[in-house]
Amino acid sequence: MARKNYTAEHITGTLQEAKVRLSQGDKTGAICRSFGMSEQNYYRWRREYRA
């Protein structure tokens, strides 16, 4: 599978949308699946971008 390169704006937007959905009661796994990414990638982005 080819590696995708995401911009910082895309990553922060994704993290903001995930934060909203988490506050609405969605599970982290379901959110990550809807974005097409792994939970590990989500937590790495969250750590790196402090969102």
DSSP string, the chain: -PPP---HHHHHHHHHHHHHHHHTT--HHHHHHHHT--HHHHHHHHHHHT-
pLDDT on residue 35 = 94
pLDDT tens for each residue of 5-24: 889 999 999 999 999 999 99
Query: Which residue in the block uniquely carries the two structure tokens 């995930």?
Result: 18
Supply the pTM of this predicted model. 0.84
